[in-house]
Amino acid sequence: MLNQDCFLSKNWMGSKETYEEAKWVMIGLPFDSTCSNRPGTRFASNEIRYASYGLEEYSPMLNKELNSTSFYDAGDLNLPFGNPHDALFIIKNCANNIINDNKFIFGVGGEHLVSLPLIQAAYQKYPNMILVHFDAHADLRQEYLGQKLSHATVIRRVLDDISSNNLIQIGIRSGEKEEFLFMNENKTLCQTNDEIIKKLNEYNLNIPIYLTIDLDVLDPSIFSGTGTPEPGGMTYKELIEKLMLFKNKNVIGIDVVELSPHYDISGVSTVVAAKIIRELLIGFT
């Protein structure tokens, strides 16, 4: 007989054995067909999963171990390239199923467009939720290269449903003039920790929160493996600090997107993504 205990797991480090026993469900979303700059985010979820085993299970910052969390790594969805509509449909379906089982979703991209159906599915269940958007780019265009569905329009598409009052944007440092005008007018942009805390205090204490994290919010010095690197971003410590402002809140959905692992052959960007996900898993699931 084969002794499975001698073999390495094929799931994310610390994943529960079954879907049923987990409160959160991690899904990989290998899609990058609307990337305008350098594609390759389709490889991210698989590489991060493998890199998770290079990490420790224990987080000194949170003084807690991954095995005390409750998540299940369901693997990577099978998504068609060159057809954003169909890809989003498949993701939406899967997300609905998971949310209907009263579980929370932890999405791992893929390009930012894959966040759209996750956010939409969460919004159907939690219509008063706020969306917290970490990114270097505003992603607020009405369309991009003539397309309405694109990584550069994803937050605008979200605003087709959700009020801009329920949007908090953090780290944005690039966009069109119109996008910055919009952020100014709608006061969606919070740059400092104090601004974030103040903004959060405006909401009901228990309001559902969805975190969508485009990793290019980090400075390319620590995260070069992304399609549209944007100098002048956060350090790793600054990002973690900002994420932890949401620690004791009612977080009901998370996604982490836009790692393009092949652009950083040192592997550091993949490790950064994996460690951020570990901290999110330990802190929020």
Cα angle 88, 11, 50; round to 5: 90
Structure tokens at 247: 């620690």
Q: Which of 1, 21, 201, 204 binds a copy of itself (CB under 8 A)?
A: 1
CB of 205 to a copy of itself, least distance (A): 30
Q: Which of 13, 14, 26, 34 binds a copy of itself (CB under 8 A)?
A: 34
Task: Decide: 197 and 241 in contact? Cβ < 8 Å.
Answer: no
Stretch binding a copy of itself (CB under 8 A), from 147-155, 157-165, 198-206, 248-256: 147-155
A 10 A CB-CB count for 145 gives 10
Q: Which of 21, 102, 146, 194 binds a copy of itself (CB under 8 A)?
A: 146
Q: Which of 21, 102, 160, 177 binds a copy of itself (CB under 8 A)?
A: 177
Cα angle 210, 272, 38; round to 5: 85
Q: Which of 14, 109, 225, 253 binds a copy of itself (CB under 8 A)?
A: 225
Is residue 78 close enough to count as binding a copy of itself by CB under 8 A? yes
Site size with a copy of itself, rule: CB under 8 A: 85
> From CA 236, how far away is CA 196, in angstroms rounded?
18
CB of 126 to a copy of itself, least distance (A): 20
> From CA 37, how far away is CA 144, in angstroms rounded?
12
Q: 183 to each of 73, 187, 209, how far by Cα in Å?
A: 35, 5, 20
Question: Which candidate, 210, 273, 209, places its Cα nearest to that of 240?
Answer: 273
Is residue 98 close enough to count as binding a copy of itself by CB under 8 A? yes
Is residue 109 close enough to count as binding a copy of itself by CB under 8 A? no
Is residue 101 close enough to count as binding a copy of itself by CB under 8 A? yes
A 10 A CB-CB count for 185 gives 9
> From CA 181, how far away is CA 232, in angstroms rounded?
20
Is residue 89 close enough to count as binding a copy of itself by CB under 8 A? no
Structure tokens at 195: 């601004």
Is residue 86 close enough to count as binding a copy of itself by CB under 8 A? yes
CB of 269 to a copy of itself, least distance (A): 8
Stretch binding a copy of itself (CB under 8 A), from 122-130, 192-200, 247-255, 271-279: 271-279
> From CA 106, how far away is CA 95, in angstroms rounded?
10
Is residue 244 close enough to count as binding a copy of itself by CB under 8 A? no
Q: Which of 220, 242, 249, 257 binds a copy of itself (CB under 8 A)?
A: 220
